[in-house]
Amino acid sequence: MKQLLNHKMEEIIPALIDISDYLYYHPELGDQEFESMKLLTNLLEKHGFQVQTNIVERQTAFHATFSGAQPGPNIAYLAEYDALPGVGHGCGHNLIGTMSVGAAIALSKLISEIGGTVHVFGTPAEETNGAKVPMSEQGIFDKLDAAMILHPGNISHESGDALAMDAIHFSYTGKPAHAAAAPEQGINALDSVIQLFNGINALRQHVTSDVRMHGIITEGGVAANVVPEKATAQFYIRAKDRSYLNRLVLQVKDIASGAAAMTGAALEITNYELSYDNMITNQQLSEVFTKNLKETSELPVHPAKESYGSIDMGNVSQVVPAIHPYIGMNKSDIIAHTTEFAKQTITEDGHKTLCDGALSLAKTGYDLLTDEALIHAIRQEFNQSKK
């Protein structure tokens, strides 16, 4: 019966390619993906899925389900469809969304025979305020047995790690004064920001090698002859483990407070984006998907590579067994977050990636729905990882 998935996929591939290409030519930024969401949910509804939109108070988020007559596992495919400013779909989210939707639709054609429920979650704004974070926090994924997402890349490789990340905004308020005539009357907020950078740079010697701390000055004064009253900086702080990152962030905030004390400026600290947890790949689930991808795609699948980025799929992996592998687009020299990467998604190779990726996800879903021992092993590994 698993072989039927090839036929079912062939039937819907033209529609998937049309949607993916449309998304490429009409990119929408995070939480503004109204047309993208509409195209994906319309296709799901056409194939019998029950769709709920505007979940977790995000207008472009959705949850689609298709259940068989018999009970069984609950598996989910996660769809992303937000674009990057100025670059469009330079991260290939037009493929991610359509691969997940295509896998779910193909698998739904066999649900009546094998039982279980297939879910599709539309997860906006992965590039900024990832909707998977509130979904994870609000229990949206709690009843799932497995969650999967497949990301296009320059090469195919197994699901691996991703760093936990906090996005922190530091705002210093001082006192303006004439920088030459009355400097003693001023409190220099920019000096606080400079000391913040100096302190964080000094901290780099005393953190684990996986840590990444990088920031910019977003406001630093208005004129050289005016003591800066307001200065702000934004930092991403990343580490492999959420608990270690939490301790590190406290150190960074202490540095920020020290920088304020050195100048007399007032300090306000906020998060300017949602925090992402580290990705925990479920190896049992990863092995099943990798096997299916190798059988489906002609391209080699490489071992998981060390990642220094952060993804909101990490938050999902904390509450349900999950994977986030990559599928190559047959162009090993392309770099993500570029227009060249985006253009590759609408080529013949990009379309083949869509087809192979969706089919590999669908085959993995079939394995999960029909192998009770596999589901048990995946859950055991997940429970152990949480300890």
Centre a 10 Å sphere on the Cβ of residue 137 and count the other Cβ atoms it contains: 13
* Residue 165: closest CA among 121, 92, 215: 215
Q: Residue 377 and residue 173: Cα distance in Å, rounded?
A: 54
Residue range 114-130, pLDDT digits in tens: 999 999 999 999 998 99
With contact defined as beta carbons under 8 Å apart, do 219 and 209 qualify? no
Residue range 101-114, pLDDT digits in tens: 999 999 999 998 89
With contact defined as beta carbons under 8 Å apart, do 318 and 281 qualify? no
Q: State residue 355's pLDDT score.
A: 98
Cite the beta strand spans of the chain per DSSP E.
50-53, 62-67, 74-79, 117-122, 146-148, 151-153, 156-157, 164-173, 212-219, 230-239, 266-271, 301-302, 322-323, 326-328
Q: State residue 2's pLDDT score.
A: 84
User: What pTM did the predictor assign?
Assistant: 0.93
Distances (CA, A) of 336 to 94, 100, 223, 267, 363: 13, 20, 38, 36, 27
Largest Cα span, the chain = 84
Q: State residue 386's pLDDT score.
A: 84
pLDDT in tens, the chain (387 residues): 788 999 999 999 999 999 999 999 999 999 999 999 999 999 999 999 999 999 999 999 999 999 988 999 999 999 999 999 999 999 999 999 999 999 999 999 999 889 999 999 999 999 989 999 999 999 999 999 999 999 999 999 999 999 999 999 999 999 999 999 999 999 999 999 999 999 999 999 999 999 999 999 999 999 999 999 999 999 999 999 999 999 999 999 999 999 999 999 999 999 999 999 999 999 999 999 999 999 999 999 999 988 888 999 999 999 999 999 999 999 999 999 999 999 999 999 999 999 999 999 999 999 999 999 999 999 999 999 987
